[in-house]
Amino acid sequence: MLSVNHLSIVYQTTQVLSEFDLSLATGDIFALTGDSGSGKSSALRFIAGLDEAQSGRVILDGKQLSNNGVHNIAPELREIGMVFQDYALFPHMNIKKNIAFGIHYLSNNKQKARIEELLLMIGLEGVEKKYPHQLSGGEQQRVALARALAPSPKLLLLDEPFSSLDKSLQEQLVLQVRDILKKTNVTSILVTHDKREATIFADKVGMIENKQLTIN
Amino acid sequence: MNIKTWAPSTLALALTVSSIGIAQAKSEDSVTVYSSRKEHLIKPLFVSFTKDTGIKVMYLTGKSGALIERLKLEGKNTKADMFMTVDAGNLWYAATQGLFQAVQTQTLESNIPSHLRDPKGLWTGLSVRARTIVYSTERVNPTDLSTYENLADSKWAGRLCLRTSKKIYTKSLVASMIYHHSKNRAGDIISGWVNNLAAIPNAKDSHIMNAIVSGQCDVGLVNTYYFARLIAQNPNVPLKLFWANQDTTGVHVNVSGAGVIKYAPNTKGAIKLLEWLSSAKAQAIYASLNKEYPANQNVASDEVVSSWGLFKQDKMNLAQTGILQADAVKLMQIKGYR
Amino acid sequence: MPIFVVALSWLFTERELWAHFSTVLLPNLISATMVLLIGVGLGVTLLGTLLAYLVVMVEFPGRRWLEWALFLPFAIPAYVLAFVYLGVFDYSGYVQVWMREVLGLPGFDIRTGPWAIILTFVLVFYPYVYMMVRASFKRQKINIIEAGQLLGASPLRVFFKISLPMARPAVAAGLLVTLMETLADFGVVSLFNFDTFTTAIYSAWGDFRSIEVAAQLASLLVLVAFFLIFFEKKARGQAKYYSNDVSNKKPYYVLGFVGWLISLFVFCVFMLSFAMPMLQLIIWGWASMGEEWSVKYVDLIISTSVLTTLAALITVSIATILALPSRCKRNSPWLKSLISMATLGYALPGSIMAVGLLYGINQVSAISVYFGGQSINHIIFGSIALLLFAYVSRFMAIGYSSIKASAEQIKPVFTQSARLLGASYLRLIWKIYLPMMMPGVLAGGLLVAVDVMKELPATYLLRPFGWDTLAVQVYELSAEGLFERAAIPALIMVLFGAVLMLIFQLLDQKSSKNL
């Protein structure tokens, strides 16, 4: 389903990641951990097509998205969804419009049905008309998840999605999100610095140490 | 004007059409005037002209220098038939730039004395303005006053108010000093004036008179029509005019006037307007609107203006103000006359 | 283009005139201009920042209405304000007459030395700094201030160590606009008879009929503007301040005596910069109402509104395109220099720019005629398009800086998430950038509109027949010394400007609620 090969990343002059290889099957939930500055977020952003790298190839569902550290296909055409640490919900749009952003090509009725389905899944029915700043952090992050899932991406990337939330909320949400991802059977990669969170969330956990990836 | 009333509804169209609109409105029965004489001083005349002749007048006001540049650049394609401005220096400059055509008609020759017209007929003076001494009746004995040159005498130290050297009236007056004396002598006079100043030269003639009234200074130089305006507002103002240089060169005068544009689309109409402006009827309005002296000698001055009495005018050829203007400015800049 | 024409002038020199200018005028003018720039710069920075800080960070009696009242002076053209100040405060004005007659103090010429003109400029231009710094203070997260307070910092220390450094880009932007306006001014300096660089440009052109020397001097002015823009970029530094948090909670409550003192101070600024001049205009206007008011004002108002609206729309559209965040990380250096060029027009005196434009068009015509084509002069001259072009080049800087500020608030993460949701560049612009920039776009549009409405020199030279504006009417009457009558168009203009500023203020409030 997804294979990443020979990914090497250099920050300014220091090599942080060298010859990173990863392959995942459909529906896999993978977590990537490591200390800050270990290059785990950069690896994720390379897969998303947002940042370039020194070398590396990404093949998703048989399509070569990037090669030699350069992207062949722009982020908007990759069918990859992403959830960011600080939610990144568009502040000028209400929840409904935020979620609909990636599925504007559907008819109004289909959009509506999809949004209702997603809100039901994340347990936030009836918030369509609200604006992001009227929701709590945990609620916003669930909406961000719904928004990323709306276009049914082939791959979902989660970049420290739980780290700006309260401890008590975190654990609850980790499990809830895991359930949702399992239900939708979307291949996912979570980046987190919290090893416990990684083990609860993922089927497979990878750890970056000394520029190398080890998977246990 | 007609263009504008429909423009708001068709904003985008206006972008391209406004210039064409002018071209269409242009015809035998309208004359286009570029004027540095302000709207409120010319509009009543044009209205009256249209009533008399049926010829419409379109006008665009602007600063003299800018309008001359615009006319030069428009060249043969100009829509202007007439250029109207104040100060002989400006008229002279427009003439040297080849903007005017010679117009010599009997009407003009009989209406306007020859020293107020360009020798070749390129421009015609339409009103006379005099710049002379104004003094405080409370603090100045008129017998102490005599000439412009005398104001450089140290007895006026700290008592003199002048208008800024950036104003054309000052430039022309200094040009006449250079003409009558020499650059050196004129330079000394300017230095004397600058030493006697009670305040930084004022931006407006009205400020000079206010300064004298309030006691900041005792004497100043102003164009007479500003004085007329002041006494119309406040008849008891403790100021009086003094006719300068009566025993020598005479009071410095200047003109406002107009010339017909060389490439005028409607030369005939422009000449008609110029002749009409020199007529007794127009001259009475023209001069009295701004309390100036009529150029047409058969027309009596406004009542207030006549009450100041007759005076001897400086007979210097007015083209000199133009020729010597750059020298005058340089001299004032060197002598620190702001 | 005007800048290009101005730069070309160096190909032709007039040695003798240059010698006169460089020995007699320039030494004094350069130092006078420097004094003016430094004085005005310090003044607007202090006053603008202080007022912004007070209304954002401190709660004091009357704060709510003073906060918007402080925008109003922006609606008064600088030359009108200078006019009123001279009338009121100079030797023969009410204030000094009263001081002499009642207090027995000696009179003095307020135009002596640079302080009065500096003060005038500060009072007209402080709203630029106030406006920008206020917006910046509002975006400072209150918790950063509170963190400072809890660490035991006094209010002064919080101001100098936290608030001010974070607002530095806004201070720099406001200062830049102010200094460029000051450089370009001709109206105020001629009323005070204070010689600056602009005076020399006018003298070269008006007295010595030398467009070349005038253009050469103007190009030096542009150089100074380049310099200022460079410094503004430096002052902005590398720091990026992304924050959409707007809090209406005030960190400091000052009631009681000190609170009233603050109110009094802010109120005095408002009185001096707006209420008092307005009152004088109303007194003058009242006296001349019967004489001056006529139907022609309908025409004046229509043409002013049409020109203002069109110029604001065009400027804002172009500025928005220039300010759009690029999809990738870097802007090309080519685009950056294009933008700097486009905003330079602000430092050129309006009539110099207008003449530069006429000459530029004339050159184009000459080339066209040379190749057997037709002269385009008669089509372009006196067309509204040329005038609009002049407005757009002159006021691009003001529209751009406002719009750019709002574009910088857009965090890269919004771009990234939109792209990962499949948004094309156009959709990104339409759905994300434009809506998020809208407050800045509207604010920029209103500021440009107010500036265009006040603009005189370019309008006076380039306007087509029948397109007299209110500013032209003010000039024509006041140039003839008819100040009472000039007060009527001035009042109408200030009224329109004030309404625009109020709309600006309302939009500002609305946007700060939404984000």
The 10s digit of each residue's pLDDT in C41-61 is 999 999 999 999 888 888 888
pLDDT score at B10 = 38
Residue B76 DSSP code = G
Identify the band that residue C125 occupies on the pLDDT scale cut at 50, 70 and 90.
Answer: very high
pLDDT of residue C10: 66
Instruction: Using a threshold of 3 CB pairs under 8 A, tell whether chains B and A touch.
Output: no
How far off is chain C from B59, nearest CA to CA, in Å?
A: 7
User: For chain C, what is the radius of gyration of the CA atoms?
Assistant: 24
Mean pLDDT of chain C: 82
Within the 33-72 window of chain A, which residues sit less than 8 Å (CB to CB) from chain C?
Answer: 48, 50
State the pLDDT confidence band at B5, using cuts at 50, 70 and 90: very low
Average pLDDT, chain B: 88
**Residue B280: pLDDT above 50?**
yes
Domains of chain B and CATH, by start: 2-127+254-302 (3.40.190.10), 129-252+312-334 (3.40.190.10)
Architecture of domain C2-514: Orthogonal Bundle (1.10)
Round to whole Å and give the CA distance between C211 and C10. Answer: 11
Asked whether the beta carbons of residue B74 and residue C381 sit closer than 8 angstroms, the reply is: yes
Percentage of residues of chain A with pLDDT beyond 70: 100
pLDDT at residue B4, rounded to an integer: 40
Mutation for A interface: C246, C415, C417, most A CBs within 10 A:
C417
Q: Is A137 on the interface with C (CB under 8 A)?
A: no
The whole-angstrom separation of Cα C5 and Cα B110 is 48
Is A36 a residue whose pLDDT tops 60?
yes
Residue B200 to residues B102, B216, C200, Cα–Cα distance (Å):
42, 11, 18
AA identity, residue C314: I
Q: Do C413 and A86 lie within an 8 Å CB cutoff? A: yes
Label residue A167 by pLDDT band (50, 70, 90): confident
Residue of A nearest to C439 (CA): A92
- Every domain of chain C and the residues it spans: 2-514
pLDDT one-digit tens code per residue, B54-82: 999 999 988 888 889 889 888 888 889 99
Contact residues, chain A, for C432 at CB < 8 Å: 90
* Residues B326, C375: C-beta atoms closer than 8 Å: no
For residues C390 and C222, give the distance between their C-alpha atoms in angstroms, rounded to a whole number: 16
Q: What is the secondary structure of C420-436 as a DSSP string?
A: HTT--HHHIIIIIIHHH
Q: Which residue has the tokens 């005005």?
A: C40
User: Among partner residues C420, C427, C431, which is closest to A80 by beta-carbon distance?
Assistant: C420
Q: Closest Cα of chain B to C283: distance in Å?
A: 15
Residue C346 pLDDT exceeds 80: no
Higher pLDDT, A142 or C508: A142
On chain A, the residues whose CB falls within 8 A of the CB of C427 are: 104
Instruction: Name residues 139-198 of chain A within 8 A of C (Cβ).
Output: 144, 147-148, 150-151
Q: Does B233 touch chain C (CB under 8 A)?
A: no
Nearest to A140 by CA among A165, A105, A113: A165
Give the ranges where C327-411 is alpha helix by DSSP (H).
333-344, 350-370, 377-380, 384-407
C455 DSSP assignment? -
> Which chains does chain B touch, 3 or more C-beta pairs < 8 A?
C
**Do strands A14-24 and A2-11 pair parallel, antiparallel, or not at all (unpaired)?**
antiparallel
Q: Which residue from C97, C193, C209 is facing B93, i.e. has the nearest CB?
A: C209
The pLDDT score that the predictor gives to residue B21 is 39
- What lies within 8 Å, CB to CB, of B284 at 6+ separation is B294, B299, B300
Q: Which tens digit of pLDDT belongs to each residue from C222-280?
A: 888 888 878 877 776 555 444 545 555 666 766 677 888 889 999 999 999 999 999 99
What is the nearest CA distance from C433 to chain B, expressed in angstroms?
27
What's the pLDDT score for residue B239?
Answer: 96
Would you call A102 and C421 a contact, using CB atoms and an 8 Å cutoff?
yes
Mean pLDDT of C306-313: 95
| Distance to chain A for C427, nearest Cα, Å | 10
> Of B4, B61, B229, which has the smallest distance from its Cβ to C476's Cβ?
B61
Q: Cβ contacts (< 8 Å) between C464 and chain B: which residues?
A: 3, 18-19, 22
Size of interface A-C (CB pairs under 8 A): 66
Is residue B9 less than 8 Å (CB to CB) from chain C?
no
Provide, as residue numbers in chain B, all residues whose Cβ is less than 8 Å from the Cβ of C107: 214-216
Region C480-506 average pLDDT: 87
Are C414 and C432 in contact by the 8 Å Cβ rule? The answer is yes
Nearest residue in chain B measured CA to CA from C479 = B204
